[in-house]
């Protein structure tokens, strides 16, 4: 891969002429190109098997879709990266799209990792547990599951069938009697020796067979064991086996879709309507459905189905292992190239297919129906949200409906563990990826000084905004600030914003009103009389939801900080004392207080504690 730094066009060149000016500098290499506007913002990132041919296509003055024509008209410069192969260009293109988020590209906005079920191999009595992230633990991984709730539901059902433990190793090693899960027949109590290692291993093997799709054999085996127990008049054991068979049947029924002819696949269906897209993904593993998830990619200002679906596939599997088969609702632009890229990533063959008949086509149609219904619900929600934003603009005298609302709140107990919280909402509802939490750091603040805390939060927030986007060209600047407070709070906030030079952003305070009852809120604006909305006004309910969400976020952040400070140890923060040495000190002396009372010779007796480190520990704890 090599970077191409080309001579920029004359400042007066824009659009087709700008693109044309680069043709003489390009060859027929594969690579990635970037189109930038006159503010050096990346408009579009694309790949090409032949850079010169692709750029020549953009240089034509006609024959483009409206979307591409608008993009070319805004282009003021271009950048190029050559690669060895087109597959490399495809992977580089998607990495740059995720990093730069150009407005004319299709962008997958929700790309979180998916949970798995893990059966580890590092314990005689392995724990059946949920796993997310890197596969560092040796064991068997089953998934992905569509959500944490899908994993939790499956784990809960598997406990009833296979009686495997879900407690941590530390709990397991320190039990002297079985826990409640044993009493309600959800665990076989290996912690206290109620089951042998061999019998527990048999349960683990059954669980693995089930998660691998071999549930019919397990059910038949359990039925034989139940009959044998009944014949031997071991009715309690027969009843327990009957309960396990029922639980296994419940698991199978709850899977919903259980395809017979598809052992492993992701079913991916797209529905596009009025410029908005929904992609529905169903995960099929071991002939079982392990849930589905919907995604709403940004469509790049008007891209069509083949481009959207191809961009989704390359971005979605950028950090995930693809299955052997992908069943798609639409053909994509470069199926062979995408299949090759995914196969290289998985280190095995990955097949893309658009089925036309049979069970596979029915599975895709089911996913497409879900995508269509999900998008309809989202569009209805967005339309209702748009009406609320229109009403909010009218109620608060704004020039236009706000695209980004930021709501601020503080939380503390008599000034201790003080935190600030900012939540964000817009036309699509709450934007949780944009939430921010602030640890109040001001050493000169009087405990409980809400004005001082709000000043610190807003100063830090808008100082950063001014640094990141001083010209306010991006969409990270708010159109409205909502503050939990009355006239005094709003007056203080207005002064803070004036000092920062951003006093043109509307600020509204939400006060509890008479008797602090919900529905009697008063709204305060700088230099204006307070007012209220009618009790049943939808805008009032909307503002209440915004305020309550900010309050919930602030309270949750405060509680987490307080819990952390409660569990803090005097040994924290000593240079050279990490988790391992801290455990060694606590194991040797029994408590942090005993460590503080210990002499230098006693400290040096602990494994891993040198004379210099013992002196540092002694000095640190005695200073405290």
Per-residue pLDDT of 502-537, as tens digits, reads 888 999 999 876 655 556 788 999 888 888 888 888
To which CATH superfamily is domain 264-376 assigned? UvrC, RNAse H endonuclease domain (3.30.420.340)
Q: Is the pLDDT of residue 144 over 70?
A: yes
Of the candidates 429, 432, 618, the residue with the CA atom closest to the CA atom of residue 610: 618
- In words, the CATH class of domain 2-104 is alpha beta
CB 241, CB 222: distance < 8 Å: yes
Q: Kindly state the tokens that stand for 100.
A: 């730069």
CB 198, CB 190: distance < 8 Å: no
pLDDT in tens, 197-222: 998 998 888 888 878 776 556 767 77
pLDDT in tens, 237-246: 777 777 777 7
Q: How far apart are CA 250 and CA 579, in angstroms?
A: 44
Q: How far apart are CA 613 and CA 607, in angstroms?
A: 12
Q: Which CATH architecture has domain 405-565?
A: 2-Layer Sandwich (3.30)
Of the candidates 621, 590, 584, 591, the residue with the CA atom closest to the CA atom of residue 606: 584
CB 487, CB 524: distance < 8 Å: yes
Length of the chain: 624
Omega before residue 587 within 30° of 0, cis: no
Of the candidates 451, 443, 538, the residue with the CA atom closest to the CA atom of residue 486: 451
Q: How far apart are CA 79 and CA 42, in angstroms?
A: 10
The residue that leads in pLDDT, 540 or 162, is 540
What residue segments make up the domains of the chain, in order of their start? Answer: 2-104, 116-254, 264-376, 405-565, 579-623
Q: How far apart are CA 53 and CA 294, in angstroms?
A: 37
* Mean pLDDT of the 273-300 span: 88
Whole-Å CA distances, 324 to 88, 343, 445, 572? 21, 9, 59, 48
* Mean pLDDT of the 597-603 span: 83
pLDDT in tens, 154-197: 888 788 778 888 888 888 888 888 888 888 888 889 999 999 99
| CA dihedral sign, ordered 63, 68, 70, 76 | negative
CB 244, CB 226: distance < 8 Å: no
Whole-Å CA distances, 463 to 337, 404, 456? 45, 18, 10
Q: Quick one: pLDDT at residue 242?
A: 78
Q: How far apart are CA 344 and CA 185, in angstroms?
A: 46
DSSP 573: T
pLDDT band per the 50, 70, 90 thresholds, residue 415:
low
pLDDT in tens, 383-413: 999 999 999 999 999 999 999 999 999 887 6
Q: How far apart are CA 176 and CA 179, in angstroms?
A: 9
Percent of the chain with pLDDT over 90: 36
Using DSSP's 3-state secondary structure scheme, residue 175 falls into coil
DSSP for 456-498 reads: HHHHHHHHHHHHH-TT--SS-S-SEEEEES-HHHHHHHHHHHH
Q: What is the mean pLDDT of the chain?
A: 85
CB neighbours (10 Å) of residue 447?
11
* Angle formed at CA 305 by CA 301 and CA 306, multiple of 5 degrees: 110
Q: Quick one: pLDDT at residue 444?
A: 65
1.10.150.20, 3.20.20.70, 1.10.10.10, 3.40.50.300: CATH of 579-623: 1.10.150.20
Q: Is the pLDDT of residue 101 over 50?
A: yes
CA 187 remoteness from chain centre: 32
Q: Is the pLDDT of residue 606 over 80?
A: yes
The residue that leads in pLDDT, 144 or 2, is 144
Asked, colleague to colleague, whether 2-104 and 264-376 share their fold, the answer is: no
């Amino acid at each position: 891969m090599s970077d191409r730094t080309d001579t920029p066009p004359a400042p007066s060149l824009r659009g087709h002429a700008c693109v044309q000016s680069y043709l003489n500098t390009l060859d027929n290499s594969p690579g990635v190109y970037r189109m930038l506007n006159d503010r050096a913002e990346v408009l579009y990132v694309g790949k090409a098997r032949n850079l010169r041919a692709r750029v020549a296509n953009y240089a034509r003055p006609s024959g483009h879709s409206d979307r591409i024509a608008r993009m070319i008209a805004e282009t003021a410069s271009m950048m190029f990266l050559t690669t060895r192969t087109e597959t490399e260009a495809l992977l580089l293109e998607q990495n740059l799209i995720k990093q730069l988020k150009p407005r004319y590209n299709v962008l997958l906005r929700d790309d979180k990792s998916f949970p798995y079920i893990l059966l580890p191999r590092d314990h005689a009595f392995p724990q059946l547990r949920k796993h997310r992230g890197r596969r560092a633990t040796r064991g068997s991984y089953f998934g992905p599951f569509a959500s944490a709730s899908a994993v939790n539901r499956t784990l809960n059902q598997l406990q009833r069938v296979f009686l495997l433990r879900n407690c941590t190793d530390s709990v397991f090693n320190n039990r002297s009697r079985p826990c409640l899960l044993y009493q309600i027949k959800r665990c076989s109590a290996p912690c206290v020796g109620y089951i042998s290692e061999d019998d527990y291993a048999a349960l683990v093997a059954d669980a693995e067979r089930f998660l691998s799709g071999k549930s019919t054999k397990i059910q038949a085996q359990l039925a034989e064991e139940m009959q044998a127990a009944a014949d031997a008049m071991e009715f309690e054991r027969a009843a327990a086996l009957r309960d396990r068979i029922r639980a296994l049947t419940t698991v199978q029924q709850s899977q919903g879709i259980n395809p017979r002819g598809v052992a492993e696949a992701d079913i991916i269906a797209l529905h596009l309507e009025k410029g908005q897209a929904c992609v529905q993904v169903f995960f099929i593993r071991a002939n079982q459905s392990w849930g589905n998830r919907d995604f709403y990619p940004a469509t790049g200002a008007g891209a069509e189905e083949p481009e959207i679906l191809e961009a989704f596939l390359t971005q979605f599997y950028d950090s995930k292992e693809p299955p052997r088969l992908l069943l798609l609702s639409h053909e994509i632009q470069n199926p062979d190239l995408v299949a090759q890229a995914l196969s290289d990533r998985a280190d095995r063959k990955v097949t893309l297919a658009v089925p036309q008949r049979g069970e596979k086509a029915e599975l895709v149609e089911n996913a497409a129906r879900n995508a269509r219904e999900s998008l309809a619900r989202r569009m209805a929600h967005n339309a209702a949200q748009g009406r609320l934003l229109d009403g909010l603009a009218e109620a608060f005298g704004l020039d236009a409906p706000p695209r980004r609302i930021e709501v601020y709140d503080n939380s503390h107990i008599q000034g201790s563990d003080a935190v600030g919280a900012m939540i964000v909402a817009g036309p699509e509802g709450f934007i949780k990826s944009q939430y921010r939490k602030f640890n109040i750091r001001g050493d000169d603040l009087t405990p409980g000084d809400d004005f001082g805390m709000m000043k610190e939060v807003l100063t830090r927030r808008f100082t950063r905004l001014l640094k990141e986007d001083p010209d306010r060209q991006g969409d990270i600047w708010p159109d409205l600030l909502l503050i939990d407070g009355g006239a005094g709070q709003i007056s203080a906030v207005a002064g803070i914003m004036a000092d920062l030079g951003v006093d043109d952003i509307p600020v509204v305070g939400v006060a509890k009103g008479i008797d602090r009852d919900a529905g009697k809120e008063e709204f305060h604006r700088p230099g204006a009389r307070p007012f209220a909305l009618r009790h049943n006004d939808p805008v009032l309910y909307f503002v209440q939801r915004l305020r309550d969400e900010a309050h919930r976020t602030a309270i949750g952040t405060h509680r987490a900080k307080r819990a952390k400070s409660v569990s803090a140890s005097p040994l924290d923060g000593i240079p050279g004392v990490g988790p391992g040495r801290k455990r060694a000190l606590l194991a040797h002396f029994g408590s942090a207080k005993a460590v503080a009372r210990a002499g230098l010779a006693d400290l040096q007796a602990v494994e891993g504690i040198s004379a210099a480190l013992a002196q540092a520990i002694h000095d640190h704890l005695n200073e405290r």
